[in-house]
Structure 1
């Protein structure tokens, strides 16, 4: 039996809440009409947090995250970036090096509006410094037809965009071969974005009726076949 055809493109267009959005291979979501870039689970300073606890993990992830954000800003010119929770990983992430890197990055992008929808890690790490000029709000934050949240949920009137789960899906090859990939996951009322941050891990989501998965790999996003 032939394998099902998978539509693919560097970025994948979807229509949610009557709006055109682009699922980006950088594990972000772009809303062209609103000129808004949605980012979930940045977890700035996670590696620094582990090193503070004595774990010999490599450094450089904060600069990698910020460099990837720079690339998205350069290619899409957003008017606003909405962080869907977990901006800083923990209180231990607030090192001078991390905060200086964030301040330098924000200074370069000082004309872009930025909003953080608080997540569970934000409650422990604390809000970003006021000098970063990031508006901090609780979920849900309503923007156009979207309810911007950290935790997946449903909303009475708006389509939910959320993070928190760090979703990954499993693709199967011949025999016992398989691979796990970050993914976007959506149903009729909400979508969950993959974690943007480096060094974040992922949670394997099981398929459910009415749910679509969009895998991210090799600088491409593609729609997986619908569940039977």
Structure 2
């Protein structure tokens, strides 16, 4: 259920709840939409000798599990980039996700392949994730990884890791994860903890909703 911090949005003829945890929920079908999970990204960086913080996989899985429980979701659809790289397949993230998955045997999981998935390969079979190519038609939307307009159809996508600058000027500004809508395309923020954001250059008519992790609010 909504906590009051979620933001209701009518998009392309369908109802969504934009969640502070950087996901969206489709109540009609009880589907949770998650973009850019990037499982194993921190491990991949460590393999290259880059020191990065630990615990990101555990944080991602805890947040995902809390969302599934809160909304009583029947399915999670990953909008691309589930695995970060081929190196991630041999890291600790896969068994951690397998344990998370084992605790939720009736939850349906679907991945819409993204650019990282093309390189890393489909998720290991033990994770129980169905895989489809984009565009994946579901309800009123085309579910994609790449945010490309489709004639006569609204799109939900990821890939860009959108953020929006809020605050004052100079060092008094923050770039917060954002849901960014332009035309008929809504781009979700990256779900993964260790993914980063890129401030979008907004144009007239765009819709932008940022999350501080506690609440979603619209940016004028």
TM bin, normalised by shorter chain, reads over 0.9
Q: Which runs of 5+ in 1 are unaligned?
A: 1-8
Provide, for residues 71-92 of structure 1, a one-character-per-residue CA deviation record: whole Å limited to 9, x for no partner: 0011011111100000010011
Partner Cα distance (1:85, 1:182) in 2: 17
Partner Cα distance (2:112, 2:60) in 1: 18
The answer to which of 161-170 and 183-192 deviates more is 183-192
**RMSD over aligned Cα atoms:** 1.3
Q: 1:151 aligns with which of 134, 146, 162?
A: 146
Q: Verify: 1:84 aligned to 2:63, yes or no.
A: no
Give 2:108's aligned residue. Answer: 113
Question: Cα 1:176–1:128, aligned 2, differ >3 Å: closer, same or farther?
Answer: closer
Give 2:49's aligned residue. Answer: 54
Give 1:198's aligned residue. Answer: 193
Give 1:4's aligned residue. Answer: none
Aligned-partner SS, 1:135: strand
Normalised to the residue count of structure 1, the TM-score between the two structures is 0.91
Give 1:188's aligned residue. Answer: 183
CA drift at 1:209: 1.8
Normalised to the residue count of structure 2, the TM-score between the two structures is 0.95
Provide, for residues 38-75 of structure 1, a one-character-per-residue CA deviation record: whole Å limited to 9, x for no partner: 00000010000000111121221111111111100110
Question: Cα 1:208–1:174, aligned 2, differ >3 Å: closer, same or farther?
Answer: closer
CA drift at 1:172: 3.1
Give 1:215's aligned residue. Answer: 210
CA drift at 1:193: 0.2
Q: 2:64 aligns with which of 65, 69, 78?
A: 69
Provide, for residues 198-218 of structure 1, a one-character-per-residue CA deviation record: whole Å limited to 9, x for no partner: 110111100112111101115
CA drift at 1:177: 2.2
Q: Verify: 1:19 aligned to 2:14, yes or no.
A: yes
Determine which structure has more spread, i.e. the larger CA radius of gyration: 1
Give 2:130's aligned residue. Answer: 135
Give 1:169's aligned residue. Answer: 164
CA drift at 1:96: 4.7
Retained in 1: the 8 A contact 2:21–2:213? Answer: no
Partner Cα distance (1:215, 1:162) in 2: 16
Retained in 1: the 8 A contact 2:43–2:91? Answer: no
Partner Cα distance (1:167, 1:116) in 2: 20
Partner Cα distance (1:126, 1:48) in 2: 17
Partner Cα distance (2:123, 2:27) in 1: 27
- Would you say how many aligned residue pairs link Structure 1 and Structure 2? 217
Partner Cα distance (2:50, 2:182) in 1: 38
